[in-house]
Amino acid sequence: MITAETARFILRPFAAQDIDFLDELHSDPLVMRYLTGRVRSHDENLVNLKKLFDLEEEHGIGQRLVIRKEDNKPVGRCGMSFFYGTEEKGTTAYYLDEKMLPDGATSFRMFELGYTFLRQEWGKGYATEAAAAMRDYGLNIQKLPEIHSVIMQENVGSVAVAEKIGAKRLGECRLLGNPSWDYLSQVSFGKPKNIEEEA
């Protein structure tokens, strides 16, 4: 099942055989630098993949494998996760998992659009193309009311992608304790294309 198609990519849900790609992607310290700050082991990727399947089954959202049409190779992942926010010292602090929240914290959950590509594929406009497609899919097809992108301020490449797809910077926040920006995409910010019509 294809979620979205763009000029250069097919985006589809992950399958069990995609573990090799996750192992390759998440073993690069530069790729992981502004995600969790450390590489992921094979076992951690298996847990991660199971989480993706559960998210898909329960909520119909999740990361998509980005496959380059030209050679049928996976080059990255892009899509929606849940982030968990709580107020800490006058700022919203975001966590990737409910279990990471401080004990007893009052929290809320929101849709977060993320994108991660193999290092050798950076700088070709891939993240912008895939993120715009998943943003359109989320807002137009899944009818999500709003989509956030929470980005560490030092991650200038990711900030550039959010700006390029027209997300609006809401303000400062913290992600895993790091100074970050909270970006927002909503239907009212523009007229996202209908991917089903385009495909």
Ligand X SMILES: CC(C)(COP(=O)(O)OP(=O)(O)OC[C@H]1O[C@@H](n2cnc3c(N)ncnc32)[C@H](O)[C@@H]1OP(=O)(O)O)[C@@H](O)C(=O)NCCC(=O)NCCS
For ligand X, which residue of 114, 133, 174, 183 counts as binding (CB under 6 A)? 114
User: Which amino acid, residue 158?
Assistant: S
Restricting to residues 27-46, which ones interact with ligand X according to CB under 6 A?
A: 31, 34-35
122 binds ligand X (CB under 6 A): yes
Q: Residue 7 burial by CB count (10 A; 0-12/13-18/19+): exposed, middle or buried?
A: exposed
In angstroms, what is the minimal distance from the CB of 87 to ligand X? 21
Region binding ligand X by CB under 6 A among candidate stretches 12-20, 101-109, 158-166, 186-194:
158-166
Q: Is 151 in the site for ligand X (CB under 6 A)?
A: yes
Residue with the two structure tokens 């630098």: 33
Residue from 2, 100, 160, 170 in contact with ligand X (CB under 6 A): 160
What CA dihedral angle connects 114, 49, 46 and 22, to 10 degrees? Answer: -50
User: For residue 114, what are its two tokens?
Assistant: 């993320």
Q: Are strands 168-175 and 91-95 parallel, antiparallel or unpaired?
A: parallel
Stretch of residues binding ligand X (CB under 6 A), selected from 44-52, 99-107, 119-127, 133-141: 119-127
Q: Which residue has the tokens 């849940």?
A: 82
Of the residues 116, 144, 148, 181, which one makes contact with ligand X according to CB under 6 A: 116
107 burial via Cβ count (<10 Å: 0-12, 13-18, 19+): middle
Q: Which of 84, 94, 111, 117 binds ligand X (CB under 6 A)?
A: 117
Could you list the residues that contact ligand X (CB under 6 A)? Answer: 31, 34-35, 114-117, 122-128, 151, 155-158, 160-161, 164
